[in-house]
Amino acid sequence: MTKRVTADLRGHAGYQAIQALPGVGPVLAAVFVAEIGDVHRFPGPAQLCSWAGMTPKHRESDTKVHRGRITKQGNSLVRWAAVEAVQRVHLGPLARTKARLTVKRGTNIAKVAAARQLLTLVYYGLRDGHIRALASALQ
């Protein structure tokens, strides 16, 4: 099965680009490509994160605003793949985000925030076929 998936996605520029992201290997890249499909249906990375259920709930009435946990109303496989990829990251901007937020907010919130950042990079990788910010961001 691995050989077939690799052969089918060999010419996909986005598949090759998102494998350059830290924590994303061939299997998770295939999950992102298969589940997201045509990334051009999303106007921006915020809509992709919302579609995956990675954005916080927002309830507002008059002057009272309450932000809650992530909605989880979206594609659970993409959400799982993003969090799984972030758990293996120990260097770079995603790791710095995760470490900074772990101290302030806790491990789980930090993982979700870093996964949302990763999903933003996945969006640009699938849309453009390369990730321009990757070279400067990984330093």
Under-70 pLDDT residues of the chain: 134-139
Structure tokens at 95: 């790791």
pLDDT of residue 75: 82
Dihedral-angle region of residue 38 (phi above 0 means left; psi in -120 to 50 means alpha; beta otherwise): beta
Instruction: Write the pLDDT tens digit of every residue in 7-42.
Output: 777 778 888 888 888 888 888 888 888 888 888 999
Distances in Å between the Cα of 74 and the Cα atoms of 51, 70, 99 are 5, 10, 26
Contacts of 74 (CB under 8 A, 6+ apart): 50, 51, 52, 53, 54
Return the residue matching tokens 């990730």. 131
In the chain, % of residues over pLDDT 70: 95
pLDDT of residue 8: 77
pLDDT of residue 41: 92
Domain ranges of the chain: 2-137
**H-helix or E-strand spanning residue 89:** none
Q: How far apart are CA 13 and CA 16, in angstroms?
A: 5
Q: How far apart are CA 45 and CA 47, in angstroms?
A: 5
